[in-house]
Chains A and B, each alone.
Chain A
Amino acid sequence: GNSVTQMEGPVTLSEEAFLTINCTYTATGYPSLFWYVQYPGEGLQLLLKATKADDKGSNKGFEATYRKETTSFHLEKGSVQVSDSAVYFCALILNYGGSQGNLIFGKGTKLSVKP
């Protein structure tokens, strides 16, 4: 089946540290890939996306590259801030000949950044 696997949390980093959250996927077709972020007590916010192989999504210093050969979409940031503390979700959506399916999410990775 179609699924997303992301690294287990929680991840605790010091401010200005480098962040990597691993995400791999299994899909029967050609998915679009997303990272969403959820701050405490809030809904999901789109962080970045990539719709085809080798695309790089970027936003607010975060970036991820769609790697078809390794079926991965790892999230990276060069220097994290306390305000980046949140839960990060990797997700995919399958392309059904032009129709949009539903988002399939990973379990989420909780990031805590200490000053």
Chain B
Amino acid sequence: KAGVTQTPRYLIKTRGQQVTLSCSPISGHRSVSWYQQTPGQGLQFLFEYFSETQRNKGNFPGRFSGRQFSNSRSEMNVSTLELGDSALYLCASSLTSGSVADTQYFGPGTRLTVL
């Protein structure tokens, strides 16, 4: 079974631009979560989607948004990019959102650099 895929793997943008990242979960998985990884803050939760609905949100500004499609694929968008948004963005999928035993499987990440 194919793992979680993320596209693109690398992105370079300039301040003020916007960016869209894509995540395809493992086949059959319906929950997708997004995390930001930076050297200073470590791994921080952005949001989680299940059945096209945002179920959980971390402490990030409104410039960070996401959505999920009917095939469970998810996108996240960052508008008005700032230098501090440079990070590795990781997507994780799990079977459902309702079982505590579900494991989150991570993709390879998208490395975003803001110049």
**Residues of chain A at interface, number, CB under 8 A:** 25
The minimal Cβ–Cβ distance linking B47 to chain A, given in whole angstroms, is 9
Q: Which of A34, A49, A102 contacts B45 (CB 8 A)?
A: A102
Interface SS majority for chain A: strand
A12 at the interface (CB under 8 A from B): no
Chain B interface: which size bin?
A: 20 to 34
CA distance A105 to B46 in the complex (A): 13
CA distance A32 to B100 in the complex (A): 7
Known A-B contacts A98-B100, A100-B100, A102-B48; A43 and B106 likewise in contact (beta carbons under 8 Å): yes
A88 at the interface (CB under 8 A from B): no
Q: Is the CB of A43 within 8 A of B101?
A: no
Binds A, one of B62-70, B74-82, B91-99: B91-99
A58 at the interface (CB under 8 A from B): no
B72 at the interface (CB under 8 A from A): no
Q: Is the CB of A100 within 8 A of B102?
A: yes
- For A49, the chain B residues whose CB sits under 8 A away are 103
Q: Is the CB of B106 within 8 A of A107?
A: no
- For A46, the chain B residues whose CB sits under 8 A away are 103-106
Q: Which of A32, A36, A42, A89 contacts B101 (CB 8 A)?
A: A32
B71 at the interface (CB under 8 A from A): no
Contact with B along A73-115 (1 / 0, CB 8 A): 0000000000000000101010100111111111110000000
Q: Is the CB of B43 within 8 A of A89?
A: yes
Q: Is the CB of B90 within 8 A of A44?
A: yes
Q: Is the CB of A98 within 8 A of B99?
A: yes
CA distance A46 to B105 in the complex (A): 7
Q: Which residues of A contact B (CB under 8 A)?
A: 32, 34, 36, 42-46, 49, 51, 89, 91, 93, 95, 98-108
Q: Which residues of B contact A (CB under 8 A)?
A: 4, 6, 31, 33, 35, 42-43, 45, 48, 56, 58, 90, 92, 94, 96-109
Q: A46-B104, A93-B100, A101-B56 are in contact. List 14 more A-B contacts (CB 8 A).
A: A42-B108, A43-B6, A46-B103, A51-B100, A89-B43, A93-B104, A98-B98, A98-B100, A99-B100, A100-B98, A100-B100, A102-B56, A103-B33, A106-B42
